Amino acid sequence: MAPEGLLSIPAASVVEDVLQQHWTRPRDIDMASRRSEEAASRRHEAAAWLRQTLGALGEKDLPEKPTEEEFLLALRSGLILCNVLNNVHPGAVPKVVEIPVDPALLPDGAALSAYQYFENVRNFLVAVQDKGLPTFEASDLEKGGKCSRVVNCVLALKSYCEWKQMGGTGLWKYGGNLKSAGSGKYYIRKNSELFINSVSRNICSNGKFQDDQKFSSSFNDESSEMTTSHSLNMLVRAVLSDRKPEEIPSVVESMLKKVVEEFERRMVSQNEMVKTTSKDFNGDGSKVISKRRMEMEEENCAHGGKDDTRAISEEKCKQRLAKQNAVFERQQKDIQELKHILGNTRAGMQTIQTNYVQEITTLGRHLRSLADAASGYHRVLEENRKLYNEVQDLKGNIRVYCRVRPFLPGEQRSVSTVSRADDGNITIINPSKNGKEGHKSFTFNKVFGPSATQEEIYSDTQPLIRSVLDGFNVCIFAYGQTGSGKTYTMTGPRDITEQSQGVNYRALSDLFQLSERRKDTITYHIAVQMIEIYNEQVRDLLVSDGIRNSSQKGLNVPNASLVPVSSTSEVIELMNIGQRNRAVGATALNDRSSRSHSCLTVHVQGREVASGAVLRGCMHLVDLAGSERVLKSEVTGERMKEAQHINRSLSALGDVIAALAQKNSHVPYRNSKLTQLLQDSLGGQAKTLMFVHVSPEQDAAGETISTLKFAERVSSVELGAARLNKENGEVKELKEQIAHLKAALARKESSEAEEAAGSLKSTPSVRRTMLFTPLSKSTAWREHNNNSLPRRKRPGSDLQEQLLAAADSPPWPDNSSPCVDSRAGEENETDSQEWVDKVMVNKLDRVGSNGSSLSDWAAVAGPDYLFSRNGTALEDGPSEIGTTDSEDQIVVSSGSSESNPAVSASASKTKKPQQKLAKTPDAKRTPIQAPCPPSSRKLPSRLRLPRGAAGVM
Ligand SMILES: Nc1ncnc2c1ncn2[C@@H]1O[C@H](COP(=O)(O)OP(=O)(O)OP(=O)(O)O)[C@@H](O)[C@H]1O
């Protein structure tokens, strides 16, 4: 059974095709007997109808199954024919010559009879012709006439009669398309057997229809129309007719088998077609579907109309096709609509896409131009900043960078006091004030927000570091209230990583790297000092016992050691030592707060290999103590004293800044150790950078504003263009000669002094003359020390003595040294040259003892370098660079900018007698292994850096 919606396969057509394919060979059929059979059959049919129609009249003369002769004889008189015609169509033959009841009554029976015959037959034939029925010749009724033509005429009349009986409407046509006008259906002959017979009679020996004139012109043409294609029955009959009876079952079986196979084949192909069709349909294949449908239609129609069954199935097929057509058409319509919608959508999408692309392009152009403008703006800003800095450099201004610390864990993260921090501007909100007053803006060379990294901070500092190697003096100091991040910037956090290293570490690392890179052209020697100013006392942090207070009246301040270094790791070691020696106190504000100023000083001397010219640079890295006010730190006692000292030194720094800013002729450097320390950086053509630190806490707003005001003042200070410390080889030689002569002179004086020393005692007044010899400049101490301490002779001490003597009057080239000279007048000449030389002497001391030759630039030496790198203590004892009972006892030489002749003279005077300082056991220098001062800071693993004290790492 065909699936629903599929066209059915007409079984008859299958059978017919099979038969035609397999059994259509020429057959030897006895067509003659078939024809006679057929003729008899038709004759009997005609006779039967005549008998039936005429009743007794016909039955009397016409036998039921007459032979040809009997048939013709019965009709020869024409009487039956006329009566039957009149019966079918009354009045068709107006005059019928009746046969007399008694022929003897006729005058001439034979003649009458012929006349009757003639009259009746003629009238009949005319009437039949009028009706359009097939006729025959009158002679056909004679003996030997063509009976078949007469039979045809009768059967045609019969057909006509039947037509009339069926209503007779419409046109009855002879030989074809006998249609019942109402039904519109093909006429179907009921007597199929007769039909078959009639067809069979016309099959030729080759199985095809013969063009039989008689047949085609007779009523049987109707059936010929019905069999225009091969009829199944005929074929079956044809196939079976020549078979023996015993063969028929096997033939039929084989025939059926073939039919079944063919049927199955068609089913399969139809299924295939359906699948293809549905695929085609699912795709964009409506055309293919239509084509396929057409083929199916053709195929089905080709097989249609062969028989009645086929006609019915054809009708069904047509209906189904019509339905399918409707579905297909609807679907095609839908597809067309969808295509249309798709097309529209596509077009719409394309339009949108085009617009989108256009908009994107336009937007891109806008963005590019905006980005250009922005980058241009930033470029301009950057250029402005550079230009500003250049101008500042040219003017010699102190550079000020401001850094805002982020909120720390545990701090109340309310609103930050800093409302803006970028592009060199910072705005502070003061919650205690309203309106305009509540906002205060400041401008600096650079402002770093809370998120600025250590690397970013350093990148803007780096150029200064290079300057040191180029022979400039540099000072970088960190300012700000306690806990604002000074140590973080200078050194780093407590646990330092590579990323969190502060300026100190990075600066020294850079120094070593750069010096290594330049070693082919310039040979560098680097040495460091580390000191601390605590309670207005200067302490050397690189000696173990230098910070111990051995006197009730004051601190023993050790001489500042100058330690040559050749790598950052060496510096780390020193810084750890310095850190352990630092004074660290706790306050209410920050229990880790360092209560002292610390300074790491890096001295660099470079000699140009080619020219012999010497470059000297010096860098102070200063971590100041917290700038908060005493009251706020809520301290008493010892802490109060510390705070007072810190505040005093910072206000002295403020005074110096103010004097410099106002270009006063007098600058009060001497008011504090701090200002003395920074004297050359603040007023001596050095490159100076101040990091001002800001805490974001609202509580700190007032302090922050005063810190920033101070920084603003600092930034307005013009130091003058920085000066390069470079001298050529010739000058150097001359200086060495002078140094030599001075050494000889000193030796002479020394021996005189030794003689006088026996009579002298150390008194408070003498102590008062002990000069603060900052850092490297311990000449006074040395003088004192050399004169006062008996030196044990060692092998090779002649050379040492000579060098030490020379060190007493070193040839300082200018006053650009960062160091504060303890002597007035000619002593002011001394500068960093001295310490470098001293360092080298110490080096030479060790080298010399190994039998190595001296370096030519180590022309002078001093006893300052009291411990060797391998930890061996020298015998020279402690080198106190100053002792005081109180700050007012300090006598400090003026710096180059300081003009205080009275003090200078006093200093000069105090120096001359070269009071001998009583040597105390405490003052003796020992290798640095002394116990550390208590510190809240956790001291380090190997890389841990000391806090504050400008420690490196
Ligand atoms: N930029 C920063 N990022 C992260 N933490 C910071 C920053 N600045 C400071 N800190 C942290 O804030 C705390 C205080 O900083 P720091 O000790 O450097 O302040 P200080 O100004 O040196 O204080 P003092 O005056 O007491 O020496 C430290 O724990 C430090 O690690």
> What is the C-alpha separation between 624 and 618, in angstroms, rounded?
18
Indicate the pLDDT class of residue 618, thresholds 50, 70 and 90. Answer: confident
Which of the two residues, 924 and 134, has the higher pLDDT score?
134
pLDDT at 109 over 70: no
Query: Residue 253: its pLDDT value, please?
Result: 79
433 is annotated as contributing to ligand binding: no
Query: Residue 453: its pLDDT value, please?
Result: 93
612 is annotated as contributing to ligand binding: no
For ligand 1, pick from 401, 408, 479 the residue to mutate: most ligand atoms within 8 Å of CB.
Answer: 408
Task: Choose the most confident range, by mean pLDDT, from 301-305, 445-449, 779-783.
Answer: 445-449
> Separation of 485 CA from ligand 1 center, angstroms?
3
Indicate the pLDDT class of residue 832, thresholds 50, 70 and 90. Answer: very low
pLDDT at 610 over 70: yes
523 within 8 A of 836, measured Cβ to Cβ: no
| Least confident piece of the model among 138-142, 459-463, 846-850 | 846-850
Spell out the residues 6+ positions from residue 564 whose beta carbon is closer than 8 angstroms to its own: 525, 526, 527, 839, 840, 842, 843, 869
For ligand 1, pick from 401, 404, 405 the residue to mutate: most ligand atoms within 8 Å of CB.
Answer: 405
Mean pLDDT of 584-598: 56
Per-residue pLDDT of 177-186, as tens digits, reads: 333 333 333 3
pLDDT at 720 over 70: no
> What is the C-alpha separation between 539 and 547, in angstroms, rounded?
6
Indicate the pLDDT class of residue 778, thresholds 50, 70 and 90. Answer: very low
Q: Which residue has the tokens 């039936």?
A: 52
Atom of ligand 1 nearest to the CA of 404: 1
Q: Using a 6 Å cutoff on CB, does residue 691 contact ligand 1?
A: no
β-bridge partners, 404: 694
Query: Residue 379: its pLDDT value, please?
Result: 77
> Separation of 528 CA from ligand 1 center, angstroms?
24
Task: Spell out a b/e string for 84-121, using b for 16 or more CB atoms within 10 Å of the CB, else e.
Answer: bbbbbbeebbeebbeeeeeeeeeeeeeebbeebbebbb
Instruction: Please name the fold of domain 381-715.
Output: Kinesin (3.40.850)
Indicate the domain borders of the chain.
28-165+189-241, 253-376, 381-715, 729-923
Q: Using a 6 Å cutoff on CB, does residue 480 contact ligand 1?
A: yes
pLDDT at 458 over 90: yes
Q: Using a 6 Å cutoff on CB, does residue 488 contact ligand 1?
A: yes
CATH topology identical between 28-165+189-241 and 381-715: no
- Burial (CB < 10 A; 0-12, 13-18, 19+), residue 598, is buried
> Separation of 489 CA from ligand 1 center, angstroms?
8
Residue bearing the CA closest to ligand 1, atom 12: 485
pLDDT at 691 over 90: yes
> Separation of 512 CA from ligand 1 center, angstroms?
27
| Least confident piece of the model among 243-252, 319-328, 434-443, 930-939 | 930-939
Q: At 397, is the secondary structure helix, strand, or coil?
A: strand
| Least confident piece of the model among 281-290, 378-387, 503-512 | 281-290
| Least confident piece of the model among 32-41, 588-597, 834-843 | 834-843
Q: Per CATH, is 28-165+189-241 categorized as 1.10.418.10?
A: yes
Q: Using a 6 Å cutoff on CB, does residue 449 contact ligand 1?
A: no
Which of the two residues, 557 and 487, has the higher pLDDT score?
487
Query: Residue 308: its pLDDT value, please?
Result: 63
Query: Residue 478: its pLDDT value, please?
Result: 93
β-bridge partners, 402: 447, 692
Indicate the pLDDT class of residue 452, thresholds 50, 70 and 90. Answer: very high
Spell out the residues 6+ positions from residue 354 whose beta carbon is closer than 8 angstroms to its own: none
pLDDT at 600 over 80: yes
Query: Residue 822: its pLDDT value, please?
Result: 32
Q: Using a 6 Å cutoff on CB, does residue 590 contact ligand 1?
A: yes
pLDDT at 855 over 70: no
List the one residue out of 155, 146, 163 whose CA is nearest residue 81.
155
- Dihedral angle computed from the Cα positions of residues 815, 465, 567 and 526, in that order, rounded to the nearest 10 degrees: -10
> What is the C-alpha separation between 782 and 775, in angstroms, rounded?
12
| Least confident piece of the model among 418-427, 798-807, 830-839, 866-875 | 866-875
For ligand 1, pick from 488, 582, 623 the residue to mutate: most ligand atoms within 8 Å of CB.
Answer: 488
pLDDT at 548 over 50: no
Percent of the chain at pLDDT exceeding 70: 56
Other beta carbons less than 10 A from residue 733's beta carbon: 13
Q: Using a 6 Å cutoff on CB, does residue 482 contact ligand 1?
A: yes
Residue bearing the CA closest to ligand 1, atom 23: 483
Query: Residue 870: its pLDDT value, please?
Result: 31
486 is annotated as contributing to ligand binding: yes
| Least confident piece of the model among 256-265, 281-290, 628-637, 875-884 | 875-884
Which of the two residues, 368 and 685, has the higher pLDDT score?
368
482 is annotated as contributing to ligand binding: yes
Atom of ligand 1 nearest to the CA of 454: 1
Query: Residue 905: its pLDDT value, please?
Result: 32
Mean pLDDT of 891-901: 32
> Separation of 56 CA from ligand 1 center, angstroms?
148
Query: Residue 402: its pLDDT value, please?
Result: 94
> Separation of 626 CA from ligand 1 center, angstroms?
11
417 is annotated as contributing to ligand binding: no
Query: Residue 488: its pLDDT value, please?
Result: 92
pLDDT at 759 over 70: no
Other beta carbons less than 10 A from residue 447's beta carbon: 24
180 is annotated as contributing to ligand binding: no
| Least confident piece of the model among 64-68, 608-612, 693-697, 924-928 | 924-928
> Separation of 431 CA from ligand 1 center, angstroms?
23
The beta strand positions in 695-779, using DSSP E, are 726-727
Query: Residue 475: its pLDDT value, please?
Result: 87
> Separation of 453 CA from ligand 1 center, angstroms?
13
Q: Using a 6 Å cutoff on CB, does residue 485 contact ligand 1?
A: yes
> Separation of 405 CA from ligand 1 center, angstroms?
7
Task: Choose the most confident range, by mean pLDDT, from 109-118, 714-723, 913-922.
Answer: 714-723
Percent of the chain at pLDDT exceeding 90: 5
pLDDT at 236 over 70: yes
> What is the C-alpha separation between 348 and 799, in angstroms, rounded?
100
pLDDT at 633 over 60: no
Residue bearing the CA closest to ligand 1, atom 13: 483
Query: Residue 112: its pLDDT value, please?
Result: 54
Alpha helices in 227-307 (DSSP H): 232-241, 248-282, 286-303
Mean pLDDT of 457-484: 86
List the one residue out of 399, 483, 428 whose CA is nearest residue 704.
428
Indicate the pLDDT class of residue 928, thresholds 50, 70 and 90. Answer: very low
Q: Using a 6 Å cutoff on CB, does residue 487 contact ligand 1?
A: yes
Query: Residue 298: its pLDDT value, please?
Result: 61
Tokens read off for 900 = 């205080």
> Separation of 593 CA from ligand 1 center, angstroms?
9
Residue bearing the CA closest to ligand 1, atom 31: 493
523 is annotated as contributing to ligand binding: no
Average pLDDT across the chain, whole number = 66
pLDDT at 2 over 80: no
**What's phi and psi for 582, nearest 5 deg?**
-75, 150
> What is the DSSP pairing of strand 687-694 with strand 399-404?
parallel
Indicate the pLDDT class of residue 494, thresholds 50, 70 and 90. Answer: confident
> What is the C-alpha separation between 720 and 734, in angstroms, rounded?
29
